[in-house]
């Protein structure tokens, strides 16, 4: 079943609350001062059953300009607006502002109700109708019905109900498969139950027992109970007015403007990329960095508007901008907002959020403007692809994308499958966490690694390659290590690169020795064999620099380490492979006859010094030939 929310709007004292009472039989003014003063201050909520059998929620919003924030909090999520104009006063200032706000936040359905029609004659009523028609030109109400009523005498009430019923059948069903979001418009306590919040569920489903988070305050809580239209329910659906009883949360910890959603599904932000439109009837333009009040969901925040492609925005114009907020909030792409001056208070414009968690944007950057233009028109799939392509060498999981876009991860996974089927992403999975890597981004990574390896092979033609860990850290270090390893393994399997031991190289690269290289190689082995079991540093090989090129000697040493002609001990020391094998056999032979060996014993067996014996034994520990226990070593094999 589709769930409908009906709202009222219009100037103060034009009969909105009385109209709702005539429709439902219930009073929405609940505060003492509201009843004493005869005006609505806070939001009023009730419901009634349509002729179709459908139960619709009703929100009565205050008309006084001092309570405009309350009005804005109420119109979020409204499907049908009853736009109220009193016959005896006609169109008034708040009438115009409410209409502008409704148009800016994207309300699509509604009609005009002329209240108090029994207080004027027919000629006057016709004048009011003409005034209304002129006022609603160019808005969503331009071709809507205008129904005169008398709420006290019940004239025209049935026609109002019929029109609500007709429009309700045209409302598109809400997305119950989307992320549940409940902007909070009221917080109170009920004795014996604790803290209760109310709001219009914009999307998804809330269930009793769900773990939720209060954003942006990062309060983790559970849903203890749910009510819809004064009845306990196990589940609440998008489009319903919902009262939520929260567990272990105090009333003063939450306020209007906060938002309830599943835990860890939304990201707090201090900036919003937007498309903003100014009202045509503004008396002056908006300059870059003007300080304004932002109304988003049920939240009210001070901000500065940074115009990205101009210095001044004229009345009636649209532009891309970044709103830099003075407090944290949460939002989602496609959310609508209103901007107002704060002194004096009046509405200047509004628009749509394009990016809910952007970085700081540079002004007059054509790439940014182009990106925002694409986001304005793009689908969810476009937004996902944009996230996957952005930020070089950083790869996002489907959970990361879901939080970025405030969507359910299951929806993101489905969209990613489409991209995979189209050949646009390669999917990696770590412990059921899915990382879609865009092929364009992957190609950029491949190109960078190839250039790095090409340069390395030219500079060091005798080295087998660059350490794998060095490549992973440089190009994939901002990601989980396991993901980086998986991507490198993927590139190896695709023969983009190859691996030799712990080194990476281009697939067609092979170091080869010239005749002169072989002469130097033999000289190095001769030196190491003569040294025997004495500690020899890599730098000691530079004694050959008097006869040969220094760089060639360094390259040959590393080449020989990789071929196994030389064994590296620790960071700096080397030994010839023949002497190494001799040292290993001496160790094995001793440990076959004895339970353990110590550094002094091994030193004496090799007729060397303590430092060399320690270097060899630590190496054998590392390759798991021996196991150390205090000052003793035991044979593992």
Establish how many alpha carbons lie within 13 A of residue 120's alpha carbon, considering only the half-sphere containing its beta carbon: 19
313 or 40: which leads in pLDDT: 313
CATH (one of 1.10.3660.10, 1.10.10.10, 3.40.605.10, 3.40.50.410) for 378-512:
1.10.10.10
The pair of structure tokens assigned to 233 is 């329910």
φ, ψ of residue 123 in degrees (nearest 5): -60, -45
User: What does the DSSP 8-state code read for residue 119?
Assistant: G
What is the pLDDT, as a whole number, of residue 572?
A: 77
For the chain, helix, strand, coil in percent to 5 are 35, 30, 35
What is the pLDDT, as a whole number, of residue 297?
A: 87
What is the pLDDT, as a whole number, of residue 65?
A: 46
Tell me how far apart the alpha carbons of residues 147 and 134 are, in angstroms, rounded to a whole number: 16
Q: In this structure, how many other beta carbons lie within 10 angstroms of the beta carbon of residue 328? A: 15
Closest of 145, 152, 164 to residue 15, by C-alpha: 152
Encode pLDDT of 349-383 as tens digits. Answer: 999 999 999 999 999 999 999 989 988 888 889 88
Q: Kind and range of the H or E element at 97? A: helix 93-104
Tell me how far apart the alpha carbons of residues 218 and 263 are, in angstroms, rounded to a whole number: 9
Across 150-175, average pLDDT: 90
What is the pLDDT, as a whole number, of residue 75?
A: 61
Does the pLDDT at position 551 exceed 90?
no
Does the pLDDT at position 114 exceed 70?
yes
Q: In this structure, how many other beta carbons lie within 10 angstroms of the beta carbon of residue 480? A: 14
> Is the CA virtual torsion 353, 358, 359, 361 positive or negative?
negative
What is the pLDDT, as a whole number, of residue 41?
A: 29
What is the pLDDT, as a whole number, of residue 33?
A: 39
Alpha-helical runs (H) found in 407-459: 409-421, 439-459
Cα-based distances in Å from 235 to 19, 54, 205, 421: 30, 17, 7, 35
Instruction: With beta carbons less than 8 A apart as the criterion, state whether 256 and 186 touch.
Output: yes
Q: How confident is the model at residue 27 (pLDDT cuts 50, 70, 90)?
A: low
User: Which range (61-65, 455-459, 631-635) has the least confidence?
Assistant: 61-65
Report domain extents, the chain: 5-168, 182-262, 269-371, 378-512, 516-635
> Is the CA virtual torsion 455, 457, 460, 466 positive or negative?
positive
Q: How confident is the model at residue 278 (pLDDT cuts 50, 70, 90)?
A: very high
Encode pLDDT of 380-397 as tens digits. Answer: 898 899 899 988 889 999
What is the pLDDT, as a whole number, of residue 186?
A: 87
- Decide if 182-262 and 516-635 have a common fold: no
As its CATH architecture, domain 182-262 has: Beta Barrel (2.40)
Does the pLDDT at position 236 exceed 60?
yes
Tell me how far apart the alpha carbons of residues 38 and 290 are, in angstroms, rounded to a whole number: 37
What is the pLDDT, as a whole number, of residue 1?
A: 58
Instruction: With beta carbons less than 8 A apart as the criterion, state whether 108 and 172 touch.
Output: no
Burial of 622 (C-beta count, 10 Å sphere; 0-12/13-18/19+): exposed
Q: How confident is the model at residue 313 (pLDDT cuts 50, 70, 90)?
A: very high
Does the pLDDT at position 28 exceed 80?
no
Encode pLDDT of 553-601 as tens digits. Answer: 878 888 888 888 888 887 778 888 899 999 999 999 999 999 999 999 9
User: Which range (44-58, 437-451, 583-597) has the least confidence?
Assistant: 44-58
The predicted model scores a pTM of 0.76
The percentage of residues in the chain with a pLDDT greater than 70, rounded to a whole number, is 93
As its CATH architecture, domain 5-168 has: 3-Layer(aba) Sandwich (3.40)
CATH (one of 3.40.50.300, 2.40.30.10, 1.20.1250.20, 3.10.350.10) for 269-371:
2.40.30.10
Encode pLDDT of 492-544 as tens digits. Answer: 999 999 998 899 999 999 888 888 788 888 888 888 888 778 777 877 776 76
Tell me how far apart the alpha carbons of residues 460 and 420 are, in angstroms, rounded to a whole number: 39
Does the pLDDT at position 156 exceed 80?
yes
Q: How confident is the model at residue 546 (pLDDT cuts 50, 70, 90)?
A: low
Supply the mean pLDDT for the chain. Answer: 88
What is the pLDDT, as a whole number, of residue 69?
A: 55
Tell me how far apart the alpha carbons of residues 21 and 41 are, in angstroms, rounded to a whole number: 16
Across 162-187, average pLDDT: 89
Q: What is the dihedral of CA 117, 118, 124, 125, to 10 degrees?
A: 30
Q: How confident is the model at residue 97 (pLDDT cuts 50, 70, 90)?
A: confident
What is the pLDDT, as a whole number, of residue 70?
A: 55
Q: How confident is the model at residue 261 (pLDDT cuts 50, 70, 90)?
A: very high
Across 131-146, average pLDDT: 93
CATH (one of 1.10.10.60, 3.40.50.20, 1.10.3720.10, 1.10.10.10) for 516-635:
1.10.10.10
Across 476-489, average pLDDT: 95
Tell me whether the omega of the peptide bond preceding residue 216 falls within 30 degrees of 0, making it cis: yes
Q: How confident is the model at residue 42 (pLDDT cuts 50, 70, 90)?
A: very low
Establish how many alpha carbons lie within 13 A of residue 576's alpha carbon, considering only the half-sphere containing its beta carbon: 18
What is the pLDDT, as a whole number, of residue 72?
A: 61
Does the pLDDT at position 287 exceed 70?
yes
* 601 Cβ contact partners less than 8 Å away, ≥ 6 residues apart: 590
């Amino acid at each position: 079943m589709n769930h409908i929310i009906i709202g009222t709007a219009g100037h103060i004292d034009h009969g909105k609350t009385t109209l709702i009472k005539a429709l439902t039989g219930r009073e929405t003014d609940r505060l003492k001062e509201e009843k004493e003063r005869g005006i609505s201050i806070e939001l009023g909520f009730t419901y009634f059953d349509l002729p179709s059998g459908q139960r619709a929620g009703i929100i009565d919003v205050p008309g006084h300009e001092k309570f405009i924030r309350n009005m804005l909090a109420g119109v979020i999520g409204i499907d049908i607006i009853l736009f109220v104009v009193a016959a005896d006063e006609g169109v008034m200032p708040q009438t115009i502002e409410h209409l502008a706000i409704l148009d800016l936040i994207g309300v699509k359905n509604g009609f005009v109700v002329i209240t108090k029609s029994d207080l004027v004659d027919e000629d006057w009523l016709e004048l009011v109708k003409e005034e209304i028609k002129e006022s609603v030109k160019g808005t969503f109400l331009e071709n809507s019905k205008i129904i005169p009523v008398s709420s006290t005498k019940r004239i025209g009430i049935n026609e109002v109900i019929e029109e609500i019923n007709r429009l309700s059948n045209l409302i598109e069903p809400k997305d119950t498969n989307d992320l549940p979001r409940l902007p909070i418009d009221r917080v109170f306590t009920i004795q014996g139950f604790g803290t209760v919040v109310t709001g219009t569920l914009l999307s998804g489903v809330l269930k009793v027992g769900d773990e939720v988070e209060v954003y942006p305050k990062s309060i983790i809580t559970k849903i203890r109970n749910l009510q819809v239209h004064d009845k306990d329910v196990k589940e609440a659906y998008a489009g319903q007015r919902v009262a939520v009883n929260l567990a272990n949360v105090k009333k003063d910890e939450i306020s209007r403007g906060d938002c309830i959603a599943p835990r860890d599904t939304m990201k707090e932000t201090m900036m919003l990329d937007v498309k903003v439109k100014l009202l045509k009837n503004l008396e002056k333009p908006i300059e870059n960095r003007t300080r304004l009040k932002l109304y988003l969901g049920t939240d009210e925040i001070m901000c500065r508007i940074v115009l990205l492609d101009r210095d001044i925005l004229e009345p009636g114009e649209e532009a891309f901008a970044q709103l830099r907020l003075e407090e944290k909030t949460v939002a989602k792409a496609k959310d609508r907002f209103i901007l107002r001056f704060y002194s004096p208070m009046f509405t200047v414009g509004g628009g749509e959020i394009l990016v809910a968690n952007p970085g700081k944007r540079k002004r007059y950057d054509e790439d940014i403007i182009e990106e925002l233009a694409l986001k304005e028109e793009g689908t969810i799939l476009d937004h996902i692809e944009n996230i996957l392509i952005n930020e070089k060498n950083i790869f996002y999981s489907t959970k990361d994308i879901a939080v970025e876009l405030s969507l359910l991860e299951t929806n993101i996974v489905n969209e990613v499958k489409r991209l995979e089927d189209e050949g646009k992403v390669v999917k990696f999975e770590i412990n059921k966490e899915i990382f879609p890597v865009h092929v364009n981004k992957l190609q950029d990574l491949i190109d960078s690694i190839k250039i790095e390896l090409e340069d390395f092979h030219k500079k060091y033609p005798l080295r087998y390659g660059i350490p794998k860990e060095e490549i992973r850290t440089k190009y994939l270090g901002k990601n989980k290590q396991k993901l980086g390893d998986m991507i490198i393994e993927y590139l190896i399997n695709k023969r983009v690169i190859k691996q030799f031991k712990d080194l990476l190289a281009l697939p067609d690269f092979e170091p080869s020795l010239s005749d002169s290289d072989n002469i130097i190689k033999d000289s190095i082995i001769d030196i190491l064999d003569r040294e025997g079991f004495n500690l020899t540093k890599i730098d000691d090989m530079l004694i050959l620099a008097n006869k040969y090129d220094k760089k060639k000697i360094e390259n040959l040493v590393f080449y020989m380490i990789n071929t196994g002609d030389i064994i590296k001990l620790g960071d700096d020391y080397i030994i010839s492979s023949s002497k190494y094998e001799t040292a290993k056999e001496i160790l094995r032979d001793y440990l076959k006859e004895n339970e353990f060996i110590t550094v002094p014993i091994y030193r004496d067996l090799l007729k060397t010094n303590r430092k060399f014996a320690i270097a060899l034994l630590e190496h054998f520990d590392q390759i798991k030939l021996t196991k150390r226990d205090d000052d003793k070593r035991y044979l593992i094999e």
